[in-house]
């Protein structure tokens, strides 16, 4: 402890000694540098003086800057005030300039309106006048201005002068449409549409005069188009080829003539009455140009009415489309079209109703129905609805007439005189040929339409002709001839239906079934004619057991005549059957198929007889007289190779 204290005291004494020595050293250094310190003191005092002067100077600057800032602020406020005044003056100037420009009437405009010709410059001037007229009536502030009182009378006189002048100009242009041989569409597109603003000006600033101009155009186009279509229809009527009259019906006797048809060609030679033929091509010529009557007349050409119908409606569609678009662009009124075409529609309706009331050509009527449908599609693709109601009306008129003529054909079959129609000939009857061609034509025209109403009517017609052909067949005394007659007619009908299309539908299926039925009947009749005993035995006795010990058991004596009779004449009889078939059936292929069926059925009958003989007691004695089945098959194949 004592040691620690002594050590601490020693350290303190050393520290104090060191401090004293240091102070002495510092004092000596200060004394040594006293001159420098005096000089430094003087410099600091001088700097302080200078800084005081600068402080005074900067304070003066600060006061001056504050004064300048106040001046700038005042100038800024004055500048903003002057800018606002300038803006207001410019706005007022622009409005006043526009007002002056809109309300004043320049001398040049007056000269053009009063004395100028109606041309492009005149129409530009009309637009300016129109703007001025709208300006003085649209703004309520303008109506109270003093300037308007000076200008308004002049504007009104200019309006009246402009309305009068352009009305006279347009009337002259419209009357040019009435000149003969004028191409109306070209005149409309190249002349009238150039001045469509004239009509717009009249519509807006001269409504009473616009109504007169509109009425003048309506009256002009109504008369021009009515005369045009009337002349075209009269020219087309000279080209018409009459196809059918009220006596040209399926069930009417071909030999019959009437007092009023003595000069007409015999019905059997006028195939177009019932056959479609080349008339179908008119549906592919739907977009062809309309007929030029004088060219066709010069070449002495005549056409069925559906050709003229297509040509007339082609002209109608093109004319109506052009007029509809023109009315919309020139007058801005689609409704004007209906008033313009009231006359042409009346002319066409008068002609069409006269034709329709005397039309007995069912195929022609159906062609017109299909043409009308195509015309509706064309107008739909053009997106022009102006003929929608007219084409609907045409379609509505055609269907009842077609139905009436179609019912006349049905009634002609139902009311036909069988005795006058009957001919002692098993070949296809001309009534059945008419029916087949007529039905095939209508089926062909229904391929792309699937018209259920037409299919129902065709079924009614089929039932009527079925009934008539059965009645005609009963006029033959022999049932075999009845079958031959029916087969020939059914086969011919099927052939004609197949020509119309690969699928004859229900009607073709029906005739194929009745043909098959009548073929079976004929085969039996043919075989009974030559092998009646053999067939009777096979049908009544061959199914019995020959080995039976009953009194009715089949004996050799019963089958021997049948075997020997067949063996003695089977080849000659087959040849007779062949000749009979060849002469009986009009269609060689059908006849040979029936012969093959007959021989096959004969083979079946004889096979059953042969099997029965082999089972009869003592039947082996007849083996030498039995004809080999292979030999009969070989003979049948000879006839099979002939077709």
Rg value, the chain, Cα:
58
| Spans in the chain with pLDDT lower than 50 | 257-269, 642-643
d(CA 214, CA 208): 10
SS3 302: coil
What pLDDT score was predicted for residue 234? 94
Q: What's the longest Cα–Cα distance across the chain?
A: 190
Instruction: Quote the tokens at residue 7.
Output: 């050590």
Cβ atoms of 465 and 429 within 8 Å: the answer is: no
pLDDT of residue 269: 36
What distance in Å separates the CA atoms of residue 594 and residue 199, rounded to the nearest whole number?
Answer: 82
How far is it, in rounded angstroms, from Cα 586 to Cα 493? 12
Contact call for residues 356 and 403 (beta carbons, < 8 A)? no
337 close to 386: Cβ distance less than 8 angstroms: yes
* Contact predicate 105/158, CB 8 Å: yes
d(CA 470, CA 461): 14
Q: What are phi and psi of 303, to 5 degrees?
A: -130, 145
Q: For residue 511, how many other CB atoms are within 10 A of its CB?
A: 22
CA distances from 531 to 540, 558, 567, 610 (A): 14, 15, 12, 15
φ, ψ dihedrals at 291, nearest 5°? -60, 145
In whole angstroms, how far apart are CA 393 and each of 190, 399, 400?
Answer: 34, 10, 12
pLDDT (0 to 100) of residue 307: 94
Look-up of token digits 């699928």 = 503
Task: Give me 504's structure tokens.
Answer: 């004859």
pLDDT at 392: 96
User: Given this model, what pLDDT does residue 433 score?
Assistant: 94
pLDDT computed for residue 641 by the predictor: 55
Three-state DSSP at 240 gives strand
The token duo for 319 is 């004319």
Query: Measured between alpha carbons, how far is 211 from 203 in angstroms, rounded to an integer?
Result: 8
Domain ranges of the chain: 2-86, 107-205, 227-256+268-416, 529-641
């Amino acid at each position: 402890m004592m040691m620690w204290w002594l050590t601490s005291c020693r350290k303190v004494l050393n520290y104090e000694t060191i401090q004293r020595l240091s102070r002495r050293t510092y004092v000596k250094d200060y004394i040594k540098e006293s001159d420098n310190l005096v000089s430094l003191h003087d410099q600091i005092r001088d700097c302080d003086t200078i800084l005081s002067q600068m402080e005074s100077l900067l304070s003066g600057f600060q006061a001056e800057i504050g004064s300048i800032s106040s001046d700038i602020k005042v100038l800024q406020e004055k500048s903003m005030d002057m800018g606002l005044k300038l803006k207001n003056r410019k706005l007022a100037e622009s409005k006043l300039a526009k007002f002056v420009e809109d309300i004043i009437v320049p001398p040049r405009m007056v000269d053009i309106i009063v004395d100028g010709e109606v041309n492009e410059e005149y129409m530009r001037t009309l637009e300016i006048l129109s703007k001025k007229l709208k300006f003085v009536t649209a703004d309520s502030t303008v109506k109270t201005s003093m300037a308007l009182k000076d200008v308004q009378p002049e504007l009104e006189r200019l309006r009246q002068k402009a309305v009068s002048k352009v009305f006279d100009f347009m009337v002259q242009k419209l009357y040019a449409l009435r000149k003969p041989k004028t191409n109306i569409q070209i005149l409309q597109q190249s002349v009238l549409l150039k001045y469509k603003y004239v009509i717009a000006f009249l519509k807006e600033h001269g409504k009473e005069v616009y109504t007169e101009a509109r009425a003048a155009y309506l009256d002009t186009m109504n008369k021009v188009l009515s005369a045009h279509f009337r002349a075209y229809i009269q020219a087309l009527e000279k080209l018409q080829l009459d196809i059918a009259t009220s006596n040209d019906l399926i069930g009417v006797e071909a030999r019959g003539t009437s007092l009023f048809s003595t000069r007409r060609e015999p019905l059997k030679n006028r195939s177009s009455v019932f056959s479609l033929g080349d008339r179908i091509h008119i549906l592919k010529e739907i977009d062809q140009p309309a007929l030029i009557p004088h060219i066709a007349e010069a070449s002495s050409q005549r056409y069925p009415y559906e050709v003229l119908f297509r040509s007339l409606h082609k002209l109608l569609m093109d004319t109506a489309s052009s007029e509809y678009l023109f009315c919309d662009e020139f007058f801005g009124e689609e409704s004007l079209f209906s008033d313009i075409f009231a006359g042409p529609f009346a002319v066409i309706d008068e002609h069409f109703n006269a034709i329709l009331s005397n039309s007995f050509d069912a195929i022609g009527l159906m062609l017109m129905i299909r043409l009308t449908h195509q015309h509706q599609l064309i107008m739909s693709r053009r997106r022009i609805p102006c003929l929608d109601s007219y084409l609907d009306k045409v379609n509505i008129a055609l269907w009842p007439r077609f139905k009436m003529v179609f019912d006349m054909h049905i009634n002609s079959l139902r009311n036909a005189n069988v005795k006058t129609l009957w001919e002692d000939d098993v070949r296809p009857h001309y009534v059945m040929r008419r029916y087949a061609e007529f039905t095939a034509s209508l089926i062909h025209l229904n391929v792309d339409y699937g018209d259920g109403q037409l299919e129902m009517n065709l079924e009614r017609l089929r039932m009527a002709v079925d009934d008539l052909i059965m009645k005609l067949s009963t006029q033959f005394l022999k049932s075999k001839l009845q079958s031959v007659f029916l087969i020939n007619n059914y086969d011919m009908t099927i052939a004609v239906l197949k020509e119309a299309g690969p699928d004859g539908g229900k009607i073709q299926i029906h005739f194929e079934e009745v043909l098959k039925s009548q073929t079976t009947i004929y085969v039996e009749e043919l075989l009974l004619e030559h092998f009646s005993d053999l067939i009777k035995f096979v049908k009544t006795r061959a199914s019995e057991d020959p080995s039976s010990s009953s009194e009715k058991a089949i004996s050799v004596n019963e089958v021997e005549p049948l075997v020997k009779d067949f063996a003695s004449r089977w080849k000659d009889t087959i040849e007779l059957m062949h000749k009979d078939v060849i002469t009986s059936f009009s269609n060689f292929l059908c006849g040979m198929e029936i012969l093959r069926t007959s021989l096959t059925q004969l083979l079946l009958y004889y096979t059953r007889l042969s099997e029965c003989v082999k089972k009869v007691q003592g039947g082996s004695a007849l083996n030498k007289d039995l004809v080999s089945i292979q030999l009969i098959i070989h003979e049948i194949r000879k006839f099979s190779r002939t077709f």
